[in-house]
Structure 1
């Protein structure tokens, strides 16, 4: 099966390459904002926006006027226009909000370059621990795994920690996983991350909690340095101690995010490998985050990311993920079907007031989810 797969690698550019990256990121942002402004003006006056082709033609003229746009990768500028066009398409389909202007102070700065050229050598190639990118030449990178397939595009990112990464989008063939004949329901939680209907439990590693004390201390130091810089009437962007501490805080956040993503990748792959049909709850996580008491814990466990990983891996390996209505899955007795709030004695204990069936509340819920998924 042919799928699009992303490979992410750490980049180690030299000083000259960092300058070119910064120019490309800034130029891509300028093009996006410029044509977003033109698009909005046109829509207000005529009721119609600008097409991608119209923007592309105007970009050619703009390059003649602003010579510095020719110094960066032309594919990156075209990608900005495509992103703008796609954003408006999704907006009119009510899939997302209207595009907003990009800010140079955004935490993550990036640009995307298209790679493949018909009947020509691709702009990106890999040789050992070096990666060739347009306008940058050969850049050192951590070649941690083999890239298999045809490279479609590359996205260069600079994280708040100051680290550079490249994500290569590749069209590749994925072999279907061997069928196991197994089906399972999954109940996600805060104490235990995922509870399967077969009794298997994936613990919540609580990456944030483990590093929270370190993060709080680093953030307090940052706040103190920011106040001191403000008292001295120095711009925060020019206060070296503030910027150093911002980088330290960003690296702790990055460490938490990397550990969480690694854990989710491992357990989702294991679940997809061992089961053909997986039932999950169709949770409205954005609404659940409005609960101030639980928002912190819910955002830490990343239920939405967990579901996304399950779904795209199921597509890759010819498995099936079925989302079911979560209503009353935790209050319904799996044994007799009786539903009542009183059935849930505590967070962990489930005792049916009708038939007396007793078991772990999360396992009971996961079995209800499994039953709903099989009846779907």
Structure 2
């Protein structure tokens, strides 16, 4: 019997777990990561050469044959293996090569959809590793979380292609929910693409794409509440209910420690180069790089935990959340705003609100922030000309209706009004 594709399932969910590979498994992960990166770079280079021949616009037989040969050598996984015999190593997963080819095609589709994303470029080798694989299911057997060559053996062990049995750790509460779905016979949970990665601190992870025709989480109870939020540089956000959430500023608090660690690493690199020592063999450099990576990772982890808690609270307690459209490209041109944008993680925060609203059947909308700060939410008067507010004006009084406003709270109320108008809510 045939199996449904991942795109045909009604609901999708991402599950990321930490894995603890053995030294042998770590070597296999490194080998597959190198294979995926090499294949991707080979396709990028080959297509650049084909594009160069195409720009010549010369109808010559040997050029036509050259283009045909270039296309044929990257056309399939088999062609790539024939060209690079080392890809036939038994530790290398064929799915990692196939996914590298698909990722190149996805990169071009993303470029045509959003030009700012840029064309596919060469992937440099660094301290991180990652590759993607897919499970195989027998046609005569049903799909399950516990079948196939990629599956869950129990609450603490996985089976992954090539890597075989491996220990993992994640949130047991969510894992038990997914297992409970699978135990109900009318609910099928399928594993899709699996991303295996190593971060800069040396920790290993496996990210699963799960698909099902039943929702993975239950919708939150109806509250009848609505809220608008205004993101600003004075604090993390101010909402239409008058609540102002302070900015945790995780990066700024650790900035000096990060600067000192980076300077120490730079000095060690310069010293090694003067002494003509290979950087890969300098243990003091690797030790300092690890210290810097752990500091950076700690800042990133704390920021993400804060954003997760805050976004979940907003979605859980409100039926409608309205926020301003974040114009990141314009803000990054200003150094002060760029630091605030990266330290606060506003773009990540808005993405979390968007996917959590879909997951829990809430409404989330973004609106054009134009004049939300300059408009009185009570009478609708817009401050213009000499009356226009500057960044220093944190409080102001409307010259028409005389209402006193706190700048950010007034903007949040206007954002909520715009959001309701955009959705047609009166």
Q: Same fold by TM (over 0.5)?
A: yes
SS class of match (1:354) = coil
Alpha-carbon shift at residue 98 of structure 1 (Å): 0.6
Q: Partner residue of 1:143?
A: 170
Q: 1:97 aligns with which of 100, 118, 122?
A: 118
Asked if 1:273 corresponds to 2:273, the answer is no
CA RMSD of aligned residues (A): 2.4
CA shift, 1:128, in A, is 3.4
- Whole-Å Cα distance in 1 between the matches of residues 130 and 276 of structure 2? 31
Q: What displacement does 1:254 show? A: 0.8
Per the normalisation by structure 1, the TM-score is 0.92
Shift in Å, 1:150:
2.3
Match runs of 1:305-344 below 5 Å = 305-340=348-383, 342=387, 344=389
Q: Equivalent of 1:22, from 30, 33, 36? A: 30
Partner of 2:210: 170
* SS of match in other structure, 2:336: coil
Alignment of 1:38-53 (within 5 A): 38-46=46-54
- Rounded to whole Å, the distance in 1 between the matches of 2:361 and 2:355 is 10
Q: Which runs of 5+ in 2 are unaligned?
A: 1-8, 56-63, 142-146, 179-188
State the number of aligned residues.
373
Aligned-pair CA distance for 1:118:
4.7
Per-residue CA deviations over 1:290-348 (Å, capped at 9, x if unaligned) read 10133212211011111111111111222222211111111111122222164647453
* Aligned partner of residue 298 in structure 2, secondary structure: helix
| Distance in 2 (alpha carbons) for counterparts of 1:6 and 1:159 | 18
Cα offset, 1:241, TM superposition: 0.7
Distance (whole Å) between structure 2 residues aligned to residue 352 and residue 58 of structure 1: 67
Correspondence for 1:117: 137
Quote the residue 2:263 is aligned against.
Answer: 220
Residues 143 and 367 from structure 1, CA distance in 2 versus in 1: closer, same or farther, beyond 3 angstroms?
closer
Correspondence for 2:407 among 339, 361, 370: 361
TM-score by length of 2: 0.81
Which deviates further from its counterpart, 14-23 or 131-140?
131-140
Rate the CA distance shift 1:287–1:343 in 2: closer, same or farther, 3 A: closer
Greater gyration radius? 2
In 2, Cα distance between the equivalents of 1:70 and 1:199? 63
Match of 1:128 among 135, 146, 155: 155
**Cα offset, 1:154, TM superposition:** 1.2
Q: 1:78 deviation in Å? A: 0.6
The answer (yes or no) to whether the contact 1:285–1:303 under 8 Å persists in 2 is no
Query: Structure 1, unaligned stretches of length 5 or more?
Result: none
Q: In 1, distance between residues paired with 2:77 and 2:194?
A: 21
